[in-house]
Amino acid sequence: MGSSDDARSDTVPDTSPQPRTRASRLSLPSYDIGSLLGKGGMGEVLIARDPEIGRDVAIKRMNDSDGSPAALARFLREAKIQARLEHPAIVPVHELGRDSEGRPYFTMKRITGTTLHDVLRGPPRGLPALLRVFVDVCRAIEFAHAKHVVHRDLKPANIMLGDFGEVYVLDWGLARVTSEADEPRSNDDLALLQGLTAAGAVLGTPGYMAPEQIRDPSVGPAADVYALGSILFEILAGEPLHPRDDALASTLAKHLRTPAASAQVPPELEGVCVAALGPDPGARPSARDLAESVQQYLDGDRDLERRRAKSAEELARARDLIGDPARRAEASQHAGRALALDPESREAAALVTRLIVEPPPVLPDELRERLAQLDTMQTLRTVGLARFALLGFYILIPLVLWMGIVDRGVFALMIGFVTAHLAFAHWQFRSGRAYDIATLATNMILLVLVSRVFGSYVFVPAAVCAIAWGLGQQAGLLERRALFTGGMIVAFLVPLLLEQLGVLHSTSLIGDGQLVITSPLFRIGGAATQAMLIAGNLFAILVATVFGQHVSIARRRAQHDLEIQAWHLEKMVPGVAAHR
């Protein structure tokens, strides 16, 4: 199996139709040859069936483009190394031979599945499942090292997850035998030298190669450990340790620097990962040590002292940041991590409680934006209700016509303004924008117009209450309480003042123990007037009641949500109840 950056191993069948190439006409009497699966650096892989045993196999045959003794030796080396590594996580080799054209081939178990490369870039999988795969890979590499074999090209694309839970380490084409006594020999006495690499060549995959492997390909087991650390980092962080660049030189330069610490992960795994990625090959753990450390984490063993030390570090960072409003979110993250690392820490619990219960003196920009969004949503809900209240004016038009209109111009002005007010409210609701001052002004004008119906003492007080209920839900007006309250008072007093100045027709006469109401717009008298008074007052009562219920329901829901959250916090974080 030649070195390749493909995400799928070349032993995996390709279900797409394949053309019948020259390679697919390979003549091997013992096998029924199928389609071409793919090509690697040293050979091509085909599907075949062994009719005698009745099993499917994969056959890898050496390319005919390079028949040099060195290429032949490297191809046979891969077959022999892979054949002698009898391990459940290493694809077994069944047979080694030559085809009718004299080119060497070897047959392997045919496997199917998905590479770890695809898994890491696909839908998220649970960390324990990926760590179990990693342990199996470490065990396989540990076995290879015990046989004096270094893989030299470990990467997620060379790790296969079988369809039935199997794990395979693929592509041993760049493997190196570290003991001359164990160097494989071919049957035809080809000289299989250890130094088959051309001068200046780089063996391996940029992004997973150890720094010493870039300088000298004659590396030992520590280079595989570095690659395992890179794979573990990718599992934990969700991204490669050294992202691939278009320029090889740029990628290799990144390897020559000390790798950065991993993302926020359990400290036991972080320590294992950092140790495997150490710049000194002699200080790195063995593949067995990696497997045992990760397995201990999976078994539930925790390094309590290390966790307490990390918790103290996170706690110190949170305390340093808590005084900066712009970094309040970071302080919360560090405090939460400190408590997660050491749930018994009273200091961490107290700081988390403080961050939750005590609001900061200056709200961070992100939090202020979220609160502003909530205020806008509440305002728009109120505007939505106001639309239905304005529609009620049209319901009263038949009663107005029944009473008889005195001043058609003012009546037309009132209906036109109500229509414009309704359109403005609808536009705010649909656009998601709230204009508090403009809304206050339009409602003040509406109150002045309503006072022309039966004067300022009938309908207007009820209308003021209903409108105040609604406008009181708008955060912009609550922040301008003096303006809001003054606007409502002015809207009630201005018509009375204009009547006293003679600008508007008088709508009331007080004297001799009587209050006489007149209307400059409609004729007053009879059943029509009585029906109008009843309907108008019922409408005002209904609007005020609906707005009041809306306010009470929102307040009750908010209180219940806060109490539910507080209850959960009391159960999760010690000490929260004491601060309530």
Give the pLDDT of residue 114: 92
Could you report the per-residue pLDDT of 362-416, keeping only the tens digit for each?
A: 777 777 788 888 888 888 888 888 888 888 888 888 888 888 888 888 888 889 9
pLDDT of 322 higher than 50: yes
Residue type, 58: A
124-162 tens-digit pLDDT: 888 899 999 999 999 999 999 999 999 999 999 999 999
pLDDT tens for each residue of 21-66 = 344 456 676 788 888 877 766 778 888 888 888 888 988 888 776 6
Do the Cβ atoms of 143 and 85 come closer than 8 Å?
A: yes
pLDDT value, residue 71: 79
Nearest of 190, 194, 109, 180 to residue 152 by alpha carbon = 194
Instruction: Give me the pLDDT at residue 225, please.
Output: 96
pLDDT in tens, 226-239: 999 999 999 988 88
Ordered DSSP codes for 135-174:
HHHHHHHHHHHHTTEE-S---GGGEEEETTS-EEE---TT
Q: Identify the pLDDT of residue 195.
A: 37
Dihedral angle sign, alpha carbons of residues 178, 183, 184, 185: positive
- Separation CA 387–CA 380 (nearest Å): 11
Q: Distance (Å, rounded) from C-alpha 394 to C-alpha 400? A: 10
Angle at 8 between CA 111 and CA 123, to 5 degrees: 105
375 is catalytic: no
Does 489 have pLDDT greater than 60?
yes
pLDDT digits 0-9 by tens, 428-448 = 888 888 888 998 999 899 888
pLDDT confidence bin for 202, thresholds 50/70/90: low
Give me the percent of the chain exceeding a pLDDT of 90: 19
pLDDT at 201: 47
DSSP secondary-structure letter at 16?
A: S
User: At how many degrees (to 10) do helices 481-500 and 436-454 cross?
Assistant: 30
- Give the model's pLDDT for residue 21: 38
Show contacts of 524-533: CB within 8 Å, 24+ apart: 524/403, 524/454, 528/399, 528/402, 528/403, 528/404, 529/403, 531/399, 531/402, 532/396, 532/399, 532/400, 532/402, 532/403, 533/454, 533/458
Higher pLDDT, 250 or 439: 439
Mean pLDDT of 270-296: 92
Confidence of residue 557 (pLDDT cuts 50, 70, 90): confident
Written as one letter, the residue type at 296 is: Q
Query: Is the confidence at residue 17, as pLDDT, over 60?
Result: no
Least confident of 248-257, 385-394, 549-558: 248-257
pLDDT tier at 311 (50, 70, 90 boundaries)? confident
Instruction: Calculate ∠ Cα 548-552-557, nearest 5°.
Output: 150
Q: How confident is the model at residue 223 (pLDDT cuts 50, 70, 90)?
A: very high
d(CA 192, CA 113): 33
Given a cut of 60, whether residue 455 has pLDDT beyond it is yes
Which is more confident, 312 or 289?
A: 289
Q: How confident is the model at residue 203 (pLDDT cuts 50, 70, 90)?
A: low
pLDDT at 12: 37
Q: Which of 10, 153, 171, 342 is catalytic?
A: 153
What is the distance of C-alpha 99 from the center of its chain?
A: 53
Burial zone of 531 (CB within 10 Å; 0-12 exposed, 13-18 middle, 19+ buried)? middle
Residue 508 is encoded by which pair of tokens? Answer: 């009331």
Q: How confident is the model at residue 253 (pLDDT cuts 50, 70, 90)?
A: very low
